[in-house]
Chain A
Amino acid sequence: MATPTTGSTVAPETLRTPAVRSKSQQKRHNRYVIAPLVLIGVNVVLFLVFFVWPGALGLIYSFTDYRGVGRLNFIGLANFQKLFADSTFYAALSRTFLYTLLSVPLIYVSSLGVAALLVSRAVRGRTAAKIVIFLPWLISPIVVGVIWKWMFGQDFGFVNFVISTLGGSPLPWSSNANLALTVVIFAAAWGGTAFNMLLFIAALKNIPEALLEAAELDGANAWQRFRHVTLPGIAPTSFMVILLSTIHAMKEFAMIQALTNGGPGTENVLIVQYIYKTGFEQSKVGYASAASMVLMVVLLAIALIQLRFNKKKG
């Protein structure tokens, strides 16, 4: 297709005005097409290389029995069939859901509660309190895992010591699956509060004081003010916090690896650990990729449901 060209190959007889126009067109082109392209170029390449390429590879792997080396051998849907019959996969997936369902509300309540106290003028020593509560954010998930493993040690752990000092009997924190998961949930809330707290503080500060005072004058009690003024005011932030911490919980890996390593046994293996173990430790790359695809669908579904929910409310 021969298209009319602009720039240097313009016919001589049209040089006067059209050439000027095409020159300015060229300049516009540079301004509005080339400039943004230069600016986003590197990130586009990174996106293609580290998201699109592995994403496509993962999809391909999920239909093969690839083990990390050798040729790709397509086996159709066999991985998925095997996956849906695999009780350890189900256990990992359902544990991940359980963990998410329990830890996200705890993180939400703790970060909102702390943020509400930290913006209340009635509280003394807010800056110092903020610094202390922020400290866990600096600590890597690995060390967060180590800290809580140390707190909840079975024989010489702090928590069991307190329980037995108070006359109770020490709990088997690491050999009982549900207790081990409880510890993981506490650790996640401890490590996950600070960042969300900052988000909530920013949101709470944005609520006009006059609105709260008006509600107070109208006789609304603290709960009513919170329910009808504060909560709607921070709705967009709430939505982001819930969405981000849900996705974060679904891909929890480092902290749980240091804390329980999926134990006791393999009862608390969460889905990312399952993918890591099958893919890297047992070299079942094709099979692990199929599990990854299922996780991807689950995450997308969660994001879409929450988006829909958010739209309805907004």
Chain B
Amino acid sequence: MATAANLPPVSDEVAVLGAEEAARTADQRNMRNGRAKLSAPLTGLMWLIVAIYALPLLWFILSSFKPGSELFTYPLSMIPREWTFQGFIDAWERVDFAQYFLNTATVALVTTVLTVFFSACTGYALAKYNNPGTRLFFVCILATTMLPTEVILNPTFTVIRDLGLYNSLSGIIVPSVLTATGVFMFRQFFLTVPDDLLHSARIDGASELTIFFRIMLPLSRPILFTLAIFSFQWRWNDYIWPLIVLNDPKWYTLQVALRSIVGAENIDWPVLLGASVISILPLVLVFFVCQKYVLNADVSAGLKD
């Protein structure tokens, strides 16, 4: 506009353009006002949805503080009329939580470390070495997402048994290490790392494994962290592997132990509620500590083209 003012005669055309521009900024102002007007209903809608999502969990957790008699008397009330920890105490006495926590944590931690490490190796090889072998293996990994383990439950059980992994924690850990999602996440990440970095390292005389361990692995820290979070959650909550691999209750993971309470003829609700709440506490605590990282985790890393 300033330049237009300096120009001697203003042609009609320019004037029209100016008017259009003015109309446009007015439009934008209207739009912004429109957004401000929209704000309240949209915020309301969002929080209504939040309430709907929170309700089952809230009802569940508050129920776990009610005495057994209150769970089954009408009228129900959201807030316990009488607060008690009896359900938790009974659950803690009835269920060997210390052992199950230890088993579950061992499985989740060891599997996560192995998954992250081998996914990084494989993802890197798939991204940076383009020979027929790696390409074939990429197709194979793709296939594992289409053909989940649930499809081959019985023969996998045979394999576990024949390898001597039956009824041991390693029987849950070893088969879970190869994770297609993890491999994809690292592959997609390493595709974005420029090849020049590799070439210059090679020219400097670094060996392939040095390049991987000293340059590439440290570079991939964000993906490493993201996959670690996800892997830990998957393994902590895993059910089908522990179910088919474990027989001895002393090796049970939390989920199998919980399921054995749900599967009872008459469910002891106070105990089940207490035990369930106890079982979700560790992950919820971890989540609140690193909530920022979880919510900003680049989960789509494995899915982008």
A and B part of one assembly: yes
Chain B hits for A213, CB < 8 A = 31
Chosen A-B contacts, 10 in total, with CB atoms closer than 8 Å, are A42-B118, A118-B46, A122-B36, A122-B38, A134-B287, A135-B57, A142-B258, A147-B276, A150-B269, A158-B76
Asked if A121 lies at the interface with its beta carbon under 8 angstroms from chain B, I say yes
The proximity string for B residues 147-168 relative to A, scoring 1 for CB distances below 8 Å and 0 otherwise, is: 1111111111111000100000
Q: Are B155 and A55 in contact (CB under 8 A)?
A: yes
Give 3 closest A-B pairs by Cβ, nearest first: A140-B237, A35-B208, A57-B155
CA of A149 to CA of B258, assembled, Å: 14
CA of A289 to CA of B31, assembled, Å: 60
Given A46-B175, A142-B255, A134-B295 contact (CB < 8 Å): yes
Nearest Cβ distance between residue A38 and chain B, in whole angstroms? 7
CA of A134 to CA of B298, assembled, Å: 15
Please pick, from A122, A138, A156, A280, the residue contacting B154 in the complex, using a CB distance under 8 A: A280
Q: Are A299 and B53 in contact (CB under 8 A)?
A: no
Asked if B299 lies at the interface with its beta carbon under 8 angstroms from chain A, I say yes
Nearest Cβ distance between residue A219 and chain B, in whole angstroms? 10
Nearest Cβ distance between residue A190 and chain B, in whole angstroms? 7
Q: Which of B273-289 contact A (CB under 8 A)?
A: 273, 276, 279-280, 283-284, 287
Chain B hits for A276, CB < 8 A = 153
Asked if B134 lies at the interface with its beta carbon under 8 angstroms from chain A, I say yes
Q: Are A275 and B154 in contact (CB under 8 A)?
A: yes
Please pick, from B75, B146, B283, the residue contacting A165 in the complex, using a CB distance under 8 A: B75
Q: Are A143 and B258 in contact (CB under 8 A)?
A: yes
Q: Are B39 and A122 in contact (CB under 8 A)?
A: yes
Asked if B233 lies at the interface with its beta carbon under 8 angstroms from chain A, I say yes
Nearest Cβ distance between residue B99 and chain A, in whole angstroms? 18
Chain A hits for B303, CB < 8 A = 199, 236-237, 240
CA of A110 to CA of B5, assembled, Å: 53
Q: Are B42 and A125 in contact (CB under 8 A)?
A: no
Given A47-B144, A296-B147, A148-B56 contact (CB < 8 Å): yes
Given A138-B287, A143-B280, A39-B125 contact (CB < 8 Å): yes
Q: Are A158 and B59 in contact (CB under 8 A)?
A: yes
Q: Are A123 and B294 in contact (CB under 8 A)?
A: no
Q: Are A146 and B159 in contact (CB under 8 A)?
A: no
Q: Which of A12-53 contact B (CB under 8 A)?
A: 30-40, 42-44, 46-47, 49-51, 53
Most buried by B among A40, A49, A129, A156: A40
Asked if A181 lies at the interface with its beta carbon under 8 angstroms from chain B, I say no
Asked if B24 lies at the interface with its beta carbon under 8 angstroms from chain A, I say yes
Given A143-B276, A193-B53, A32-B259 contact (CB < 8 Å): no
B residues contacting the other copy or chain, number (CB 8 A): 101
Q: Are B150 and A195 in contact (CB under 8 A)?
A: no
Q: Are B262 and A142 in contact (CB under 8 A)?
A: yes
Q: Are B131 and A217 in contact (CB under 8 A)?
A: no
Most buried by A among B59, B119, B140, B154: B154
Q: Are A32 and B42 in contact (CB under 8 A)?
A: no
CA of A123 to CA of B44, assembled, Å: 8
10 additional contacts (CB under 8 A) given A38-B209, A123-B39, A203-B300: A39-B122, A57-B152, A58-B154, A132-B54, A137-B233, A146-B262, A147-B56, A199-B303, A217-B27, A257-B259
Q: Are B146 and A247 in contact (CB under 8 A)?
A: yes
Given A31-B208, A43-B122, A199-B300, A150-B50 contact (CB < 8 Å): no
Q: Are B72 and A161 in contact (CB under 8 A)?
A: no
Say which size band chain A's interface belongs to: 35 or more
Chain A hits for B154, CB < 8 A = 58, 61, 68, 275, 279-280, 285, 288-289, 292
Asked if A139 lies at the interface with its beta carbon under 8 angstroms from chain B, I say yes
- Residue in chain A with minimal CB distance to B272: A146
Q: Are A141 and B237 in contact (CB under 8 A)?
A: yes
B→A interface (CB under 8 Å): 24, 27-28, 31, 35-36, 38-39, 42-43, 45-47, 49-50, 53-54, 56-57, 59-60, 63, 71-76, 118-119, 121-122, 124-126, 128-129, 131, 133-134, 137, 140-141, 143-159, 163, 174-175, 177-178, 183, 202, 208-209, 212, 233, 236-237, 239-240, 244, 254-255, 258-259, 262-263, 269, 272-273, 276, 279-280, 283-284, 287, 291, 294-295, 297-300, 303-305
Nearest Cβ distance between residue B263 and chain A, in whole angstroms? 7
CA of A202 to CA of B302, assembled, Å: 12
Most buried by A among B155, B177, B291: B155
Q: Are A140 and B155 in contact (CB under 8 A)?
A: no
Nearest Cβ distance between residue A282 and chain B, in whole angstroms? 11
Most buried by B among A53, A58, A139, A190: A139
- Residue in chain A with minimal CB distance to B183: A43
Given A140-B239, A158-B59, A202-B299, A46-B174 contact (CB < 8 Å): yes
Nearest Cβ distance between residue B39 and chain A, in whole angstroms? 4
Chain A hits for B183, CB < 8 A = 43
Chain B hits for A141, CB < 8 A = 237, 239
Nearest Cβ distance between residue B49 and chain A, in whole angstroms? 6
Chain B hits for A122, CB < 8 A = 35-36, 38-39, 42-43
Nearest Cβ distance between residue A222 and chain B, in whole angstroms? 9
Q: Are B131 and A296 in contact (CB under 8 A)?
A: no
Given A131-B295, A138-B233, A117-B46 contact (CB < 8 Å): yes
CA of A292 to CA of B155, assembled, Å: 10
Given A46-B177, A57-B159, A236-B304, A296-B151 contact (CB < 8 Å): yes
